[in-house]
Structure 1
Amino acid sequence: MRVVTGGISHETSTFTTVETNWQSYKERFYLRGEEMLNTFRGTNTPIGGFIDGADTHGFELIPTVLATAHPSGPTPRNIFDAILGEILDGIAEAGSIDGVLLELHGSMVVGDLEAPDGIDDPEGHILAAIRKVVGPAVPILAQLDIHSNVSPQMVDAADVLIGRETYPEIDMAKRSRECADVLMSIVNDGRRPTMALHQIPMIWGIHQVTAHPPMREAIEELHRIEAQPDVICGSIATCYYLADVPNMGASVYIVTDNDQALAQTYADQLGEWIFERRETWHGPAPTTREALKIAEAEGKFPVIFADRNDNTGGGSPG
């Protein structure tokens, strides 16, 4: 069994002044072929999990290209096209394959969105381009960040999308191993994944830590759905609101075994459950003066103030 892997992963802020260029990718990871496997083997990363899955199930993992950059502004179109072109060439050169395992983010933006060549849904573009190369019969699976803006095109082009379900995100390898497990169930057991998306008209608030309520309750509700017969997997995306694109927003995506209507029913149920509790996901936001009074009342010093939007891990220059 032969499976291709690779990916492009970038969390894009359309508001930042931090530019994205070739150096942005080379400073983080721009890896080709075996260098990708050697770098990530044994690590808690998406590619590391794909490697674990290949070792567990005994299939050959064929590396193409992995390009990742720290959060920053939109990737220029020529850079995006060059990276995607390398991945597509690698897939074509691999010959006969049984599946594709991808590391994507889910909140990438390419180029100037006011220009004709801007892309507001690069992950959908990537998945559709790969689908054209491999055809309808080869399963395409991808792992996404929990802060993704999931689009209908992404769901249409992929067989299975699996998002991280921890924040802080400590389950990257685990979720990739699940991708490998699902791929094996498709190839060996004849499962036929049907995936449905429910886009929630909501920006998720500050309460996203999955180990604590209220976010933990949302994950528990997801797990109740995943435990149902004929449900293969499911995910919640809390969105990345600094990407000003049409598909920005929270979502639920559910995969069932050959039952599109059931997948949509479960996605809608969980999406509506989340939306009904929309005030739960937001915490209080005191003004600076109010915060100073709170700190003084606590009587604990020093007091540190942080602007949560001035976050270099989310694209801010700091």
Structure 2
Amino acid sequence: MFSVEPKKRVALLGLMLESNSFAPVTGRDDFLKRLYVAGEEFRAELNRSESKVPAELLSFCATMNSTIEWEPVPILIGLVEAGGPIDHEFFEEVLVEMRARLEAAGALDGVYICNHGAMITTQERDPDGVIFSMVRQIVGPDVPVVATLDLHGNVSDRMVEMANVIVSYQTNPHVDMVARGKDAADALNEMFYGLRPAAAIIRLPVTPPTVTLLTETGPYADLINYGQTRLGPDIVNISILGGFAYADTPKNGLAIIVTARSGKQAAQRVAEDIARYAWKDHERYVPRLTTLEEAVARAVRSGQDADSEPVILADVADNPGGGANGNTTWILEALVKSGAKGAVLGIFNDPALAQEAMDRGEGARFRAVFNRVEPDSFSRRFEADATVLRIRDGDCVGRRGFYSGRRLNLGTTVLLDLGGVQVVVVSIRTQCADPVFLEMMGIDIAKARSVIVKSRGHFRAGFDEFFRADQVIEVDAPGLSSPVLSRFDFKHLPRPVFPIDRDVTWPRS
């Protein structure tokens, strides 16, 4: 008689938030607007053709389906746009629910944690580590635990200790989530058949500004590429995380995590080699931005001169994907006052303005007030005469890059014409990383003379069919996600740290 091997039961869970310490608190309602499901509701979301579940989680499940007899055990998944610290009371409620569902799940053969890695709460600087520790406490020391993280995650020693394998993204803009979900599944499957890997982490005194962490060109691209050359038969995974400075934690710092089959010493040797390579390039992590005045002048010139190439302006300091509100008016006001023509700005987060435009209806002319209630010192009030061109419900599916294939809801969405500048106004804060956010409003991006996006880098993978890299202008304007880190009052970063501090040495004595 042949014995049938029982299905491997794998718990799935995650809480994905990239926290900006300087942004408004993130609460339950913010998650409910994007994704917050547990148990059977989680299972149903996994099976939707246009799911809201992170791509790496879907890929993990697809890989498991194709390689092994297994049973997914959906625990809880929450996902929200980057924002401020998560409300600690809500976090504790999530933790209690995760724990209860894990304990009720019975015997497990493995766990997959799908987190971002840069979350903080209003009271805790390492909630990702708290989740990892809770999982390990419940399943015990022998059950394999794998995790995927965004490359902007801030990794603590506790996280590395509690998980067997940590896999981070390798591309920025993030377009490799499917590959990383597969990596996590492959590692878990290997552990089912005896692998017991060991990991080493080295954290450098460098907090790279977000705009220096692109992986097509630049210092981080070179580092990621070098790291992958150190893969070999003994190395399970090499993850190099640039981190997220605005989280402001003691665990901040460019982190190299190496996982080896033969033991921690082998992992440590490879990690040290990569760390030395990273440190020799650390002075390249200084942002180079274009002044607001020069950027607007470029946009105005593109609108006036048909022979001038169109440009795309990135409002990197007001990137919702970095926790900003997506509603600063510095660039918008300058464009209107300069008489710019053929300009499109998206997407501007102002639920009150979107609601008023919807109430007035398409074709209405009115005095549009942006930020009628100023939420912070960056989001100042601005008024302009406007015409309502289009109104939509904001439900859409991502077309390219970061959001490709994912169902999204921007809330009530309107297109306003301010003369030579058109503005897409949304009701749910989201970064403008996908051209569908403009196209669903009837905008022909190919005909725009300038496009202004509230995004730091993910727009590059969405809009690269319209704009080459040399047509991109990163604007130095005020905002909660400014790449000029010296403008922030950090409280918890390990100091000294480059580039905020310039007199930094490594290794530290």
Residue 160 of structure 1 is matched in structure 2 by: 165
Matched, 1:177 2:148: no
The answer as to whether partners of 1:191 and 1:258 remain within 8 angstroms in 2 is: no
- 2:167–2:184: 8 Å Cα contact kept in structure 1? yes
Where structure 1 has 5 or more consecutive residues not aligned to the other structure, the ranges are: 112-117
Deviation at 1:219, TM superposition (A): 2.0
Match of 1:69 in 2: 80
Aligned to 1:313: 321
Letter in 2 for 1:53: T
Q: How does 1:276-287 map to 2 (within 5 A)?
A: 276-287=280-291
- Within a 5 Å distance, the mapping from 1:158-237 to structure 2 comes to 158-188=163-193, 190-205=194-209, 206-226=211-231, 228-237=232-241
The answer for the alignment partner of 2:56 in structure 1 is 46
How far did residue 214 of structure 1 move? 4.2
Q: Which residue of 2 aligns with 1:15?
A: 22
Judge conservation of contact 2:56–2:180 (CA < 8 Å) in 1: yes
The question of whether the paired residues in 1 share the 8 Å contact of 2:132 and 2:163 is answered with yes
Does the Cα contact within 8 Å between 1:37 and 1:47 map onto a contact in 2? no
- Specify the alignment match of 2:248 in structure 1: 244
8 Å CA contact retained: 1:37, 1:51: no
Tell me the matched-pair count: 309
Distance of 1:187 and 1:293 partners within structure 2: 60
Higher Cα radius of gyration: 2
- 1:212 counterpart SS class: coil
Higher percent of residues as strand: 2
Partners of 2:294 and 2:80 lie apart in 1 by 38
Query: Quick one: which amino acid aligns to residue 152 of structure 2?
Result: H
Normalising by structure 1, report the TM-score.
0.89
- The verdict on how the C-alpha distance between 1:62 and 1:79 changes in structure 2, with shifts beyond 3 A counting, is same
- Give, in whole Å, the separation in 2 of the partners of 1:307 and 1:159: 39
TM-score using structure 2 length? 0.57
Secondary structure, in 3 states, of the residue corresponding to 1:266? helix
Tell me, in whole angstroms, the C-alpha distance in 1 between the residues paired with 2:300 and 2:77.
49
CA contact (8 A) 1:7 1:67 kept: yes
- When the two chains are superposed, the root-mean-square deviation of aligned CA atoms in Å is 2.3
Contact 1:65 1:87 in 2 (8 A): yes
Alignment of 1:99-110 (within 5 A): 99-110=110-121
Describe the SS at the equivalent of 1:148.
coil
Counterpart among 32, 35, 51 of residue 29 in structure 1 = 35
Q: Which residue of 2 aligns with 1:96?
A: 107
Alignment gaps of 5+ in structure 2 = 1-7, 327-509
Residue of structure 2 in register with 1:115 after alignment? none
Over the matched positions of the two proteins, sequence identity in percent amounts to: 29
Alpha-carbon distance, 1:264 to partner: 1.3
Whether the aligned pair in 2 keeps the contact of 1:67 and 1:83 (CA below 8 Å) is no
Say if 1:272 and 1:62 are closer, same or farther in 2 by CA, change over 3 A: same
Contact 1:7 1:87 in 2 (8 A): no
